[in-house]
């Protein structure tokens, strides 16, 4: 009799546990079909713009916010952290039409060459992309002719974005550090 009661208790506990876990399994996550979010066919877009990194003058768009003790003696400025809100324009001159902003930061992350860690959002304000963003997280080997950085996400029309950005220095003032960089961005999105 005691064995029978034990089996009933164990069975009841297992059943209760199964009901509890089944009932609560959808509160944290569940599988969806893309159509349930209104996602249709994936597209590939190419964006072309110029990034203006302005460290000098009365209204800089790139501001150093931190550095290590060794930054000033390092050939690569290792440890420097710069916060940015740089304009993105259609053409290479700052007076060109602004299509968005690059907001985030870059840090000098290499002891042996000028290699920046780029953590930034491209925030667009032009045309159908107005209010949409792309997120970049990657290495920028500044003195390479072409640098490639991954696009790791986005918002608005760029939800579920993935792709890459190619950067080419258009011009740089070595005295001030001001630079204009041409970007070609290739991104898959819905």
pLDDT in tens, 89-104: 999 999 999 999 999 9
Residue 26 has pLDDT above 60, yes or no: no
Could you read off the pLDDT of 126-177 as tens digits, one per residue? Answer: 999 999 999 999 999 999 999 999 999 999 999 999 999 999 999 999 999 9
Model pLDDT, residue 137? 98
Spatial separation of the C-alpha atoms in residues 71 and 60, rounded to whole Å: 21
Q: Give the pLDDT band of residue 28 (cuts 50, 70, 90).
A: confident
H/E stretch holding 133 reads strand 133-141
């Amino acid at each position: 009799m005691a064995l029978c009661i034990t089996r009933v208790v164990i069975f009841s506990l297992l059943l209760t546990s199964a009901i509890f876990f089944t009932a609560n399994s959808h509160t944290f996550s569940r599988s969806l079909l893309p159509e349930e979010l209104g996602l249709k066919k994936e597209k590939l877009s190419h964006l072309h713009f110029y990034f203006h990194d302005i460290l000098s003058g009365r209204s800089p768009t790139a501001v150093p916010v931190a550095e290590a003790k060794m930054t000033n003696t390092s050939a690569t400025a290792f440890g420097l952290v710069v916060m940015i809100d740089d304009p993105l324009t259609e053409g290479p001159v700052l007076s060109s039409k602004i299509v968005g902003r690059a907001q985030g930061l870059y840090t000098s992350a290499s002891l042996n060459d000028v290699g920046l860690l780029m953590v930034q959002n491209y925030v667009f304000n032009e045309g159908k992309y107005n209010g949409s963003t792309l997120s970049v997280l990657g290495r920028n080997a500044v003195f390479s002719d072409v640098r490639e950085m991954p696009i790791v996400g986005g918002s608005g029309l760029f939800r579920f974005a993935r792709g890459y950005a190619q950067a080419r220095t258009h011009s740089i003032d070595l005295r001030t550090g001001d630079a204009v960089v041409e970007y070609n961005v290739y991104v898959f999105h819905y």
